[in-house]
Amino acid sequence: MCTMYCPRPVVDTYNERLDITRAPHIDYAQAIPSSYYIDAKACLRVNYETCNLCAQTCTAGAIDFSQQPKELELKVGAVVLTPGFGRVDDEVLERFGYGRFPDVLTAFEFERLTCASGPTEGHIVRPSDNQVPKKIAFLQCIGSRDETCGNGYCSSVCCMYAVKEASVAKEHEPDLDISIFFMDVRTMGKGFDEARKRAQEKYGINVIRARVPRVDQVDGKLALTWTTGDGEHHSDLFDMVVLSVGLESPEDAETIARVTDIELNHYNFCRTSVDSPLLSSRGGVLVAGAFQGPKDIPESVTQASGAAAIASELLADARNSQTVTVTYPDEDKALEEEEPRIGVFVCHCGVNIAGVVDVKAVRDYAGTLPGVVLYEDTLYSCSQDALKSIAEKIKENRLNRVVISACSPRTHEPLFQETLRSIGLNPALVEMANIRDQCAWVHAQEPDKATEKAKDLVRMAVAKARLLTPLDQPTVDVTPSALVIGGGAAGMSAALSIADQGYKVVLVERSKELGGNLKRLKWTLDGQDASKVLKDMIKKVKAHKNIQVFTGSQVESVSGYVGNFTSALSRQGKTEMINHGVIVLATGGREYKPKGYAYGDSTRIVTQLELEEKLARGRGFLRNARNVVMIQCVGSRGDDMQHCSRLCCIQAVKNALKLKELKPELNIYIFYRDMRTYGFYEDLYREARKQGVKFIRYTLDRKPEVIKQSRGIKVRAFDELIGEDLEIPASLVVLSAGIAPGENEELSKIIKAPLTSEGFFLEAHAKLRPVEVAVDGVYLCGLAHGPKSLEESVAQAKAAAAKATIPLAKGKVAVAPIVSKVDQDKCIGCGICESLCPFNAIVLEKVGKRKKAKTITASCKGCGVCASHCPTIAISMGGFTDEAIMAQIHAFSPEGCEEA
């Protein structure tokens, strides 16, 4: 209402200034908090003390202009900085025509154009003439990898979002001709390279490796000129140009740094180090997300959980000292057992439902249904006031079943269940009829039919509500300890974090000593002595009173479920059983063993890690060396394994610089496909070029050859720029062998944790649950998850430790009440249910002389496969009983349908 009456238009920043809203507005329908707010800069009342229309029209009386800014003083034990990233200056964008030519957009703007709820409802049109463009160009690295604007770093996300936006655009408009201009294609995340390749093939997106220096306008079209790697010049006209703008440090970075007294790096991001990536320069001030360095969503989410772990380590003594515990009144069992007294509340959801469905007619119809004693309509059922009023009405009318006819139970059922609990009713006694998401919103043009459908849905919900029964809210006690499998950098970091948070850890390592791949590393990527980092870590692990280390040991079997696992560990032929509440998988990976490239034929053909081992022993082998050749993507990116190994580019550049430092006159050649020195590591790449390291691009169909001769080694490769083969006599060939998964198959079977097609462990959700696996109580970090740097492994280990500690800290795990229950009198012990259950949640146990099925409540996910296949109908599903579903089916018919 307020938005409707406000006379003051303002640009809609949520829609990247492509749309107009009013001073009081909400950014988007699903915004949290879900209340409207007033843009104080534009509001007439705030600035000129006139107007006040909105306050007068607000039916809820929610606009109060007498509010003043308040200063709060909060006492906190730690601070986590997650301010995100800022925007690249318009000045930089103007060089590429932005602001001068209307059809040059930023990728953020283009994102809003492709969005169905955006300003054009998902239609891709040119701002200049509202016509659908035919040819679109995406320009990468705008405001990134560009020293002229002060941003020498790579923003690490733009390559992915450009491919995404191009794919989405092609889905909207299949005839679009889209070209993406990359300097390097940097899709180095887990599964990203494969996804990029698929998108390129599926949608026919042109990939051009060139940097476009400027954008011109010619006859209403946008003209681009560029030079490809073979030295050829090209030019073409496009209808639209999208600038893939990078991530800038947050605009108030300096203020944040001053207020919190932390140091920034030379790009104004938070300064951190490789071995503790989430610590700022000040104790107790932690950092996560893009402020630590440009990064994508999974990396940000991982760091966020990691920062939570560190705060939890610091404040372990004060755990639960300031949390608020919600208490509930006892359930009124007598009322619950009475004949159903049903209340139906039909929600307007503002105009969302009432704009289409005749809410009052639905309400009155509900009153005619059997068992209904109260029927009302509410403006917004989910608002605090409405919930209070619903609670009061339930009490007044002694209701024992409630039907909320509103939106989706997926989003709102917990809220109404909470309302029931707060007044002493079992939360399972509420049922929802979804007349918004699956009715009003999707039948906006047919209000009569939508109203009919809403009545049907309410009738079916009431039929089910009559048969709802209270369900127990079971919880299981948790064994307060963790099993960490793998004693490399990730496993040790996770173990230390859990132990520092106050819980016992058993750390199992297969080999004789701790350390994993870190043992072979000479320098970390930021130049620290890797062996010192390792030694410190091992010392802390061994000295920690909460950590018990089992080296030379393996996990033989795991049984149980979250909170109560029992595992068998074998060491030197002996087996030991341990009980624990959670599992962290940190089994690591290994350096790929190169095939071809004459690997193994000479001690002068080595991998990057072997080079570091050589260098750790001394520099003698460099005495007579003149030319060093490094070859990237050995084994990776479709050479043998499909994935990109993520860190080899950075590792190669790091080692090249170290070699240059040891012997400046060395000629170093690096043959690469795309240099993926993402984030701040772009600095190393630039430095290497500055120091004369020669970078030569190759393609998979013309791979460099390593030829072992009687005297020495020769590398032959095609140089795109001169268009000829090069032959380099090499004193040393270093193969950037990628990262291969460890031997995970057996453990995957033992734990039932799925693997990717590559053989790494699969996370529960790539974006939002990057350190959890599909099995509850099992968490994942390090190379076992996929290739990554030490810094990323440590952050991920902390994140896994945070997630693993949650059940330990709670002490109990709640089990959803929607579980199966076996009536053992009816059960004939056939075992069909046991064989079908996908979660091993049903077992056959001996009862007297016969076998009977029994549900392991904590493992059950409530899918109901067991119930639907039970030949004697002995299994019932909480909240979804046969009787309740049958009642819904019978109520499907408007005239009613008698039982057969």
Partner 1 sequence: MAQQNVVKKESEMAQEGFEPRILGFFCHWCCYAAADSAGVSRYQYPPNVRVIRVMCTGRIDARFILEAFRCGADGVFTGG
Partner 2 sequence: MAKSGAIMVLGGGVAGVQTALDLSELGYYVYLVEKKASIGGVMAQLDKTFPTNDCSL
Residues 207-266 that bind partner 2 (CB under 8 A): 256
Selected range binding partner 2 among 4-12, 303-311, 512-520, 833-841, rule: CB under 8 A:
303-311
Q: Does 872 bind partner 1 (CB under 8 A)?
A: no
Question: What's the CA gap between 75 and 487, in Å, rounded?
Answer: 38
Selected range binding partner 2 among 161-169, 219-227, 462-470, 554-562, rule: CB under 8 A:
161-169
Annotate 211-224 with DSSP letters as a single string: ----EEEETTEEEE
144, amino acid identity: S
Q: Does 810 bind partner 2 (CB under 8 A)?
A: yes
Residue 43 CB, nearest distance to partner 2 (Å)?
A: 13
Q: Which does 868 bind (CB under 5 to 8 A by kind): partner 2, partner 1, none?
A: partner 1
Residue 888 CB, nearest distance to partner 1 (Å)?
A: 5
Q: Which is nearer to partner 2, 115 or 467 (CB)?
A: 115
Residue 23 CB, nearest distance to partner 2 (Å)?
A: 12
Q: Does 325 bind partner 2 (CB under 8 A)?
A: no
Question: What's the CA gap between 403 and 416, in Å, rounded?
Answer: 10
Sign of CA dihedral 518, 522, 527, 533: positive
Selected range binding partner 1 among 94-102, 370-378, 474-482, 858-866, rule: CB under 8 A:
858-866
Q: Does 297 bind partner 2 (CB under 8 A)?
A: yes
Q: Which does 82 bind (CB under 5 to 8 A by kind): partner 1, partner 2, none?
A: partner 2
Q: Which stretches of 467-552 are DSSP H helices?
A: 489-500, 530-543
Q: Which is nearer to partner 1, 481 or 881 (CB)?
A: 881
Cβ neighbours for 249, distance < 8 A, ≥ 6 positions apart? 85, 86, 264, 267, 268, 269, 291
Residue 146 CB, nearest distance to partner 2 (Å)?
A: 21
Question: What's the CA gap between 238 and 507, in Å, rounded?
Answer: 58
231, amino acid identity: G
Cβ-contact 490, 588 below 8 angstroms: yes
Q: Which is nearer to partner 1, 118 or 293 (CB)?
A: 118
Q: Does 868 bind partner 1 (CB under 8 A)?
A: yes
Closest CA to 498 of 222, 238, 660, 306: 306
365, amino acid identity: Y
Q: Does 417 bind partner 1 (CB under 8 A)?
A: no
Among 96, 104, 105, 111, binds partner 2 (CB under 8 A): 111
CB count in 10 Å sphere of residue 363: 18
Among 63, 142, 163, 628, binds partner 2 (CB under 8 A): 163
| Range 397-416, binding partner 1 (CB under 8 A) | 408-411
Residue 433 CB, nearest distance to partner 1 (Å)?
A: 10
Phi, psi of 316 (to 5 degrees): -55, -35
Q: Which is nearer to partner 2, 414 or 596 (CB)?
A: 414
Secondary structure (H, E, C), 788-811: CCHHHHHHHHHHHHHHHHHHHHHC
| Range 702-721, binding partner 2 (CB under 8 A) | none
| Range 96-135, binding partner 1 (CB under 8 A) | 116-117
Q: Which is nearer to partner 1, 627 or 868 (CB)?
A: 868
Closest CA to 741 of 731, 729, 732, 753: 753
Closest CA to 329 of 427, 415, 428, 422: 422
Among 3, 17, 57, 82, binds partner 2 (CB under 8 A): 82
Residue 431 CB, nearest distance to partner 1 (Å)?
A: 10
CB count in 10 Å sphere of residue 379: 15
Report the chain's terminal Cα–Cα distance, integer Å.
51
Selected range binding partner 2 among 319-327, 346-354, 572-580, 863-871, rule: CB under 8 A:
319-327
Chain centroid to Cα 679, Å, comes to 19
Q: Which does 700 bind (CB under 5 to 8 A by kind): partner 1, partner 2, none?
A: none
CB count in 10 Å sphere of residue 804: 30
779, containing H or E segment: strand 778-780
Cβ-contact 287, 84 below 8 angstroms: no
3-class SS at 740?
Answer: strand
Q: Does 662 bind partner 1 (CB under 8 A)?
A: no
Tell me the two tokens of residue 299.
Answer: 């990396």
Phi, psi of 557 (to 5 degrees): -155, 155
CB count in 10 Å sphere of residue 711: 5
Among 38, 346, 514, 867, binds partner 1 (CB under 8 A): 867
Cβ-contact 592, 740 below 8 angstroms: yes
Contact letters for partner 1, residues 816-835 (x by CB under 8 A): --x-----------------
Cβ-contact 331, 473 below 8 angstroms: no
Selected range binding partner 2 among 376-384, 582-590, 700-708, 799-807, rule: CB under 8 A:
799-807
Residue 187 CB, nearest distance to partner 2 (Å)?
A: 8
Q: Which does 84 bind (CB under 5 to 8 A by kind): partner 1, partner 2, none?
A: partner 2
Question: What's the CA gap between 830 and 832, in Å, rounded?
Answer: 6
Q: Which does 436 bind (CB under 5 to 8 A by kind): partner 2, partner 1, none?
A: partner 1
**Nearest 10 degrees: Cα torsion 113, 118, 122, 124:** -20
Among 222, 439, 653, 790, binds partner 1 (CB under 8 A): 439
Chain centroid to Cα 391, Å, comes to 37
Among 30, 320, 321, 572, binds partner 1 (CB under 8 A): 30
Q: Which stretches of 477-521 are DSSP H helices?
A: 489-500
Among 312, 352, 553, 756, binds partner 2 (CB under 8 A): 312
Among 194, 456, 772, 792, binds partner 1 (CB under 8 A): 456
Q: Which does 457 bind (CB under 5 to 8 A by kind): partner 1, partner 2, none?
A: partner 1
Question: What's the CA gap between 27 and 3, in Å, rounded?
Answer: 12
Q: Which does 864 bind (CB under 5 to 8 A by kind): partner 1, partner 2, none?
A: partner 1
Question: What's the CA gap between 24 and 65, in Å, rounded?
Answer: 12
Question: What's the CA gap between 154 and 682, in Å, rounded?
Answer: 6
Selected range binding partner 2 among 53-61, 160-168, 231-239, 371-379, rule: CB under 8 A:
160-168
Among 62, 259, 351, 442, binds partner 1 (CB under 8 A): 442
CB count in 10 Å sphere of residue 225: 14
Residue 80 CB, nearest distance to partner 2 (Å)?
A: 5
**Nearest 10 degrees: Cα torsion 702, 704, 707, 711:** 140
| Range 461-490, binding partner 1 (CB under 8 A) | none
Selected range binding partner 2 among 23-31, 55-63, 694-702, 848-856, rule: CB under 8 A:
23-31
Q: Which does 810 bind (CB under 5 to 8 A by kind): partner 1, partner 2, none?
A: partner 2
Selected range binding partner 2 among 370-378, 414-422, 800-808, 816-824, rule: CB under 8 A:
800-808
873, amino acid identity: I
Cβ-contact 301, 82 below 8 angstroms: no
Closest CA to 651 of 769, 789, 472: 789
Residue 394 CB, nearest distance to partner 1 (Å)?
A: 23
- Using CB under 8 A as the binding criterion, the count of chain residues that bind partner 2 stands at 76
Place of tokens 């390097």: 184
Q: Does 69 bind partner 2 (CB under 8 A)?
A: no
Selected range binding partner 1 among 187-195, 679-687, 731-739, 874-882, rule: CB under 8 A:
874-882
Q: Under the rule (CB under 8 A), what is the footprint of partner 1?
A: 29-30, 116-117, 408-411, 434, 436-439, 441-446, 449-450, 452-453, 456-457, 460, 818, 836, 861-865, 867-868, 877, 880, 882, 885-886, 888-890, 892-893, 897, 900
